[in-house]
Structure 1
Amino acid sequence: MKKIGFLSFGHWANSPHSQARSASDVLLQSIDLAVAAEELGADGAYFRVHHFARQLASPFPLLAAVGARTRRIEIGTAVIDMRYENPLYMAEDAGAADLIAGGRLQLGISRGSGEQVIDGWRYFGYAPEEGETHADLARRHTEVLYDVLRGEGFAQPNPQPMFANPPGLLRVEPHSEGLRERIWWGSGSDATAVWAARMGMNLQCSTLKNDESGRPLHIQQAEQIRAYRQAWKEAGHNREPRVSVSRSIFALMTDRDRMYFGRDAHSEDTIGMLDENIRAIFGRSYAAEPDVLVSQLAKDEAIAEADTLLLTVPNQLGVEYCAHVIGSVLTHVAPALGWR
């Protein structure tokens, strides 16, 4: 059995070919899609975060709104770029969103990916300290957030406060018990997956990673997941970790499906360069008739290693079509693979 959710990047474009032509469209449609996915029996509604782009950015208002409109489905991110975040303010926002959702928040965080602007985090007021890289900046912010989410007091109270304080040092409020165990690290390399395991965070694997062996993406990710699980075991954590994998999967059920994805140009992994000239491998899309999809997906070693699968959805095609994409996989593919 696997948990199956969707992942939306939240693109919008003022184009007659797009059902999402503004930020308002994307935000409201994201809420509606989460509601529709829950009704279909999906397990998660996840959203990507990109700054300075016509895509979803500040996640917590959206997560809180989704949490208020749904009752069962997990809500999360994949991922929030920690270079841009004030970790204490983030702990407040995340605590509030999690309480609204009744403890369903699954917060994916990471160093982030390629950006629309140069060193965008500097415009948000953050910069690496002397001797740090921007990746170090993200991990430093993460370590602060992760520590604050313990819910332990650390701030000296005012002896003459406006409102009465509880005894002792004060913590960030609101605090949501259990949220710390629902933090995920989006890892693009084997080394950062091992770091996440030692920290005690769950693991998110994307549709790309650093090309560290020249082997297909799904094999590299399976190796990455196994290294993560071994590091988790060695760290001696007292709970089982969770691991997600993102994939673009389209069951060709209708003429519209075939028109959009029947001649998919990304049926093989591709190689490209990320920032800092890092060689990366980008995963293939899966687009085929359901029986063919079942055969193809059964060979994906990373999906087999993960407990959660996130389906990337083409949000600009609208809520109804994205719900169809999710429902087709849940109904016509997942049962045959033993995921349902």
Structure 2
Amino acid sequence: MIVKKIGFLSFGHWNPSPHSQTRSAADALLQSIELAVAAEELGADGAYFRVHHFARQLGSPFPLLAAVGARTRRIEIGTAVIDMRYENPLYMAEDAGAADLIAGGRLQLGISRGSPEQVIDGWRYFGYRPADGQSDADMARRHAEVFLDVLRGEGFAQPNPTPMFPNPPGLLRLEPHAEGLRERIWWGASSNATAVWAAQLGMNLQSSTLKNDEGGAAFHVQQAAQIRAYREAWKEAGHAREPRVSVSRSIIAVVDDRDRAFFGRGGKEKDQVGYIDESTRAIFGRSYAAEPDELIAELAQDEAIQEADTLLLTVPNQLGVDYNAHVIEAILTQVAPALGWR
């Protein structure tokens, strides 16, 4: 059993409905900061946020990451994931460098080719389009490779011979540069092939609750196989450091009347299969909601959780900061120790 880092993952939904505790974009942002502070106080290891565009969810991540970094001292701060189809990789490197310096080197950035969005080809509105003969996924991977390259901190830009301010000698790099951030970039892989590609490039792996259906086995079995393929590719690439691997799960320990009201409806959750586009069959992992003893027994059978070193708990953020802090605390105190995660 691998000892786990345990964090939360928020999609940052907001809705003006009176049934929501998160009714505006301001609510979603400010409550995200407060939940990160609360999670750190509870002993959680990470505060991660999903990025979506054209949606009532968290969008531009770097102001939020910087604010969380300024309010916390220990907890990892990350994304799962940033859609690289929408990103200028050089401008993103500057934003990421600044946020990481504010946080004291705690940024853990998950990036990816993205998932189906609220609008058709939304990245085109941001000014991006694939090169001739390439797909939007190819474009995302190209943006990612440029991003990784500039994070190394090597000079590449020819300096002006008559600059406004004196330059250091040689080619110039982007500033601010955050030392070590290159090793804290993760790729959100939905297929086995992209997990192998991420390993070859020296990125950590984020495997979520949606994966290309490659073989028809249960989701957690397929995900575990993906992780093993990633680790083998990492070993073959000869990287000097050990990689990190995260999985995300919706896990609710039913311990009080609030939990029973929200999640105690009974019945067993199952994996679901669907299509994320016309040709890609995907499998969606089940959610877990049960009393701690039952939850411990079920989670012990999840092969992918066994393989990962980091577990991200997807939280129902519209239920408010206090309730979500309770959800995190219940897992940390009543479930994780019995499974040997802490």
Whether TM-score is above 0.5 comes out as yes
- Runs of 4+ aligned residues of structure 1 deviating over 6 Å after TM superposition are none
How far residue 272 of structure 1 moved from its aligned partner, in angstroms, is 1.0
2 CA distance for matches of 1:16 and 1:328? 27
The CA deviation string for residues 178-206 of structure 1, in whole angstroms up to 9 with x for no partner, is: 00000000000000000000000000000
The CA deviation string for residues 11-31 of structure 1, in whole angstroms up to 9 with x for no partner, is: 000011000000000000000
The CA deviation string for residues 246-280 of structure 1, in whole angstroms up to 9 with x for no partner, is: 00000000111011111267711011110243111
User: Which letter does structure 1 place at the counterpart of 2:107?
Assistant: L
2 CA distance for matches of 1:266 and 1:242? 31
Q: Which runs of 5+ in 2 are unaligned?
A: none
User: Which letter does structure 2 place at the counterpart of 1:158?
Assistant: N
Which residue of the partner structure matches residue 235 of structure 1?
237
Which residue of the partner structure matches residue 211 of structure 1?
213
The CA deviation string for residues 224-251 of structure 1, in whole angstroms up to 9 with x for no partner, is: 0000000000000000000000000000
The TM-score with structure 2 as length reference comes to: 0.99
User: Which letter does structure 1 place at the counterpart of 2:194?
Assistant: T
The TM-score with structure 1 as length reference comes to: 0.99
1 CA distance for matches of 2:8 and 2:261? 22
Give SS of 2:123's match.
Answer: helix
Match of 2:16 among 14, 34, 54: 14
Cα gap change, 1:5 to 1:132, in 2 (>3 Å): same
1 CA distance for matches of 2:146 and 2:291? 47
User: Which letter does structure 1 place at the counterpart of 2:305?
Assistant: I
Q: Which runs of 5+ in 1 are unaligned?
A: none
Match of 1:332 among 311, 331, 334: 334
1 CA distance for matches of 2:196 and 2:31? 36
Which residue of the partner structure matches residue 202 of structure 2?
200
2 CA distance for matches of 1:14 and 1:121? 27
The 5-angstrom pairing of residues 1-340 of structure 1 reads: 1-263=3-265, 267-340=269-342
1 CA distance for matches of 2:75 and 2:52? 23
1 CA distance for matches of 2:7 and 2:189? 19
Is residue 266–residue 285 contact of structure 1 (8 Å, CA) maintained in 2?
Answer: no
2 CA distance for matches of 1:237 and 1:42? 29
Does 273-282 or 199-208 show the bigger shift?
273-282
Cα gap change, 1:56 to 1:264, in 2 (>3 Å): farther
2 CA distance for matches of 1:264 and 1:187? 32
2 CA distance for matches of 1:79 and 1:266? 28
Give SS of 2:332's match.
Answer: helix
Give SS of 1:326's match.
Answer: helix
1 CA distance for matches of 2:93 and 2:283? 33
2 CA distance for matches of 1:112 and 1:13? 23
Does 326-335 or 257-266 show the bigger shift?
257-266
Give SS of 2:77's match.
Answer: strand
2 CA distance for matches of 1:4 and 1:102? 20
Give SS of 1:275's match.
Answer: coil
The CA deviation string for residues 164-188 of structure 1, in whole angstroms up to 9 with x for no partner, is: 1000000000000000000000000
2 CA distance for matches of 1:265 and 1:177? 49
User: Which letter does structure 1 place at the counterpart of 2:331?
Assistant: V
2 CA distance for matches of 1:294 and 1:235? 36
* Structural RMSD (CA): 0.8
Give SS of 2:250's match.
Answer: strand
Aligned positions, number: 340
Cα gap change, 1:288 to 1:166, in 2 (>3 Å): same
